[in-house]
Every structure is written in structure tokens, then in C-alpha cells.
Amino acid sequence: MDIRDAISPYASPLFLLLFLFLFLLLHMPPFVSAIDVGIGIGIGIGGSPEPEPGQSPGPSGATPTPAEPQPCEFVNQKQYEAYKVIQRFKKTITCDPKNVLSTWVGYRPCNYRGFYCGTPPGLKDTPTIASVDFNGFRLCAPTLVGFLDSLPDLALFHANSNNFSSTLPLNLSALPFLYELDVSNNNLSGPFPAAVLPLFRLRFLDIRFNHFAGLVSPSVFNLGLQVLFLNDNSFNQPLPAELGKSPVSYLTLADNGFTGPIPKSICNTSNTLIQVLFLNNRLSGCLPSEIGQLKKATVFDAGKNQLTGPIPYSFGCLHKVEQLNLAINQLYGCVPDVVCQLYKNGRLLNLSLSYNFFTEVGPSCVELIKKGVLDVRQNCIPGQPDQRPPLECSAFRARCKYCPVQEYMPCINQKVSNGVHGVVLPGAATATAYNSYTALQPGDGPH
């Protein structure tokens, strides 16, 4: 899956073709060597095609005098402006282990490593910096302020695994075309970058593995995001009900300090939500039966939280779910047999319920335990191996329970799939395709 085929004027097939064409054109050997020659030996020799910026190519024999490069020496005014922004940023970079900066010279910023040009929507023949891809460059800079917010035609900014510090720019509204922002695995801090909220074209936001803290602006869920990766930061707040307004397909909130229950409004994401990771937070409260309406979900992971109550029968409606993880919580009661039947009737491959307080499993579940699909270690289920000590079970049983008693409800608006297990169903994922789980690694994986 390539999430980057986002709907956006800049990402239209035409743009991509143009992009490819420019890329090939600008990387053709004659062009490249012209630049090399210009930079290498052109200084001081009049008429060189590409003199070093800042050096005025005076008349033959004259000593070059340093001068600011002039707009007329660039392909267009936009590239001249971008050149100035890039050179200013270059001066702030404190480490460059891959020697990327050595290519950031000359009058053709479209040829710099990490920069790609395209013509912005509404213009003709005006290639300028449309995309930045610094993934894995491991550059260090004290801030992206004055750089990211000063390249106005950016559609993509990818900077996974660098060492950019401080906060994101406070105002990104000069970037109307931005639809992918990836600053994952950097050294960014401060509150949630609210500057992204006016970016109505944004489809992909990845800020995982940084030091962001505090509250996530609930209005991030009003954006048209298809991918939202917030994992491995220090966000701590009750999950807002606005979550249900998001058209997001891939949502990872793992490894933060989110609290409170999973909002019932999650049912309103059922037309889009495919993978969701609540893993390793401090979520509490009962599992809402609305989760059962997530008819497209292939991954639902709320492991390692403080969730309680029984598993709602509605989970038996998760006909697409392959990975269902509720391990390490305080769930109790009987594991509904309809959930285990998803192995035969649906696509279930892995059901993790270990380290809870379940007391009963039905016949389909017993079968899954034998097959190694269902893990019920460290519960309170009589007759199963590796359960909690009886004292722990009776202490838990004595505690007050406040979750509603579950009643069986038929699935809403859903055809029961007749998938036969072991047969590869169309669109069935393999473990390597769980891009939300890839997001739990700091590197550049899940795009």
C-alpha cells in the first residue's frame, strides 16, 4: 500500500509524471557534468555556464569579487528564493554524517540531494522545490523554523531519523500545498504542533518518536488525515470524542500517556479506520461495544492499558480483523465464543488476551488456544495452564464492577463473510503489511 497516493492537486498523476520527467532530466549526465565543470573550474573564467554563486564571473583575467547571486542567474524567481532559504538553513546544520551538504551548492537547488522540484498548481513551467526528502540523512540542526515554513510550495516534507531540535514552526500557513509531513524520530519537543491545524490539504502526519508532550489538539481529528502517527511521544490526556470525526485509516497512539476510555464515537470512523494502535497507554474504563462497528479494521490493538469489563459481543462483528490484542489489561468475564469464531468465519490470525482476569472460554476459543492463535496465559480460567494464582483471582473477583452486562446484539449492516480459513482471501494482509506496527520502530518504515 502506498499511502502517499493521496488525493491532492499536487499528487495528481500528471504531477507525478512531470515529477519523474524533471527528475530524470535534471539527473542526466550532461547536465550534471555541466554543473560540476562550472563549480570546479568555472570560477573567474568568463562565460562558464554555472559559476559559483557569490562569485561574480568578471571579465577574463579579472579577480573575482564576491557578490550575492542575482535572481536572473536562476531558472526562476521561486528557485532563487528557495536557494536563499536553503543556504541560510545549511549554515545552521551542525552534523552531516552522510555528506549531503556538499551537494547543496550552485544555482540549481533542484539538483541538491534531498530536494525535488515540481510546478505548483495554477502555474506553468515554474519548477520549484515541491518536495523535501531527508529520510535517514541524520542531519542535526537546532531548529526547522525559518526553513520548513519558508519553502512555500512544499507538498511533501519527509525528515525521518534526523536530529532536528526545538519545536516545529509556529506558523505553517504559508504552505498551502503541504499534504505529507513526516518529522518522525527527531529531537522535537514542545506541545502538539498546532501549526498543522490550518493545513486543510494535509493527509499524512507522522510525528512519532519525538518529545512532544501535553495535549493533542482535538481539531487534528477534523483534518482530512488518512494517516496519523503520534506514537512514542509524551501526550497525556483523555482521548477526545472528536476522534470519531476523523477520516483516518491508520492511527497509532501507542506508547504515550493517553488516559480515559476509548470514546464511543470511534464507531463514526468505521468507514475508514483500518489499523488502530492504542497500545501501551493508561486507558481505562469499559470497552465500548461501538468498537464492534469497525467493519474495515484489520488491526485493533489496545494492549497494555488499564481497560476493564467484558469483551462486548459486538467484537464478533469485526469480520476483517486479523490482529486483535487486548493483552495486559483488567478485562474479565467470559470470552465470547463469537469472537473466537472469527477465525473460521472471518480473518482472525492472532487473538491476545493474556494477563487479564477472564474466567471462561467457549468451545471455539478452546480450539484456538490449541492452535496457538489465542493466548490466554495469566488469566483466571479453570483448566488452562499458566493461570494467575487463585488468591489474585479471588481478590479481583471481590472488586466492584461497573461495566454494563453484555447482551448479544446482531451485527449492524454487515454481510458475514464466508471466508474459509487457510484460503488466501482477496486483500488479506500478511504480517509484514501491518504498517502501523512498523510505525513502532523509529526508522522509516510504514510509508
Ligand X SMILES: *[C@@H]1O[C@H](CO)[C@@H](O)[C@H](O)[C@H]1NC(C)=O
- Which residues in this chain contact ligand X in the complex, by CB under 6 A? 138, 140, 161, 163, 165, 171, 173-174, 185, 187, 189, 244, 264-265, 267-268, 290, 303, 325, 327, 350, 352
Q: Which residue is nearest to ligand X (CB)?
A: 265
Distance CA 87, CA 105 (A): 8
Shortest Cβ 442–ligand X spacing (Å): 7
**Residue among 156 and 349 whose Cβ is closer to ligand X:** 349
DSSP letters, 20-49, are: HHHHHHHTSHHHHHHHHHHHHH-TTSTT-S
Q: How many CB atoms lie within 10 A of CB 288?
A: 20
How far CA 69 is from CA of 31, 74, 342, in Å, comes to: 20, 9, 66
**Residue among 138 and 282 whose Cβ is closer to ligand X:** 138
Distance CA 42, CA 121 (A): 36
**Residue among 268 and 329 whose Cβ is closer to ligand X:** 268
Shortest Cβ 431–ligand X spacing (Å): 6
Shortest Cβ 110–ligand X spacing (Å): 24
| C-alpha grid cell, residue 143 | 531548529
Shortest Cβ 282–ligand X spacing (Å): 18
| C-alpha grid cell, residue 284 | 481505562
Going by C-alpha positions, the residue among 207, 215, 165, 214 that lies closest to residue 185 is 207
**Residue among 108 and 295 whose Cβ is closer to ligand X:** 295
Q: How many CB atoms lie within 10 A of CB 398?
A: 7
Ramachandran category for residue 435: left, alpha or beta (phi over 0 → left; psi -120 to 50 → alpha):
alpha
Beta strands 128-133 and 204-206: pairing type? Answer: unpaired
**Residue among 70 and 234 whose Cβ is closer to ligand X:** 234
Shortest Cβ 33–ligand X spacing (Å): 33
Angle at 415 between CA 411 and CA 419, to 5 degrees: 115
Shortest Cβ 375–ligand X spacing (Å): 7
Going by C-alpha positions, the residue among 110, 117, 156 that lies closest to residue 134 is 156
Shortest Cβ 160–ligand X spacing (Å): 8
Residue carrying the nine cell digits 579579472: 62
Q: Are 396 and 332 in contact (CB under 8 A)?
A: yes
**Residue among 6 and 183 whose Cβ is closer to ligand X:** 183
**Residue among 35 and 374 whose Cβ is closer to ligand X:** 374
**Residue among 127 and 263 whose Cβ is closer to ligand X:** 263
Shortest Cβ 228–ligand X spacing (Å): 19
Task: Give residue 250's identity as a one-letter amino acid code.
Answer: Y
Distance CA 296, CA 274 (A): 5
Shortest Cβ 114–ligand X spacing (Å): 15
Distance CA 245, CA 442 (A): 28
Beta strands 115-118 and 128-133: pairing type? Answer: antiparallel
Shortest Cβ 419–ligand X spacing (Å): 19
**Residue among 226 and 265 whose Cβ is closer to ligand X:** 265
Shortest Cβ 290–ligand X spacing (Å): 6
**Residue among 228 and 374 whose Cβ is closer to ligand X:** 374
**Residue among 218 and 244 whose Cβ is closer to ligand X:** 244
DSSP letters, 236-270, are: -SBPPGGGGG---SEEE--SS--EEPPPGGGGGGT
Going by C-alpha positions, the residue among 135, 177, 183, 137 that lies closest to residue 154 is 177
Give the DSSP letter of residue 95.
B
| C-alpha grid cell, residue 409 | 446484539
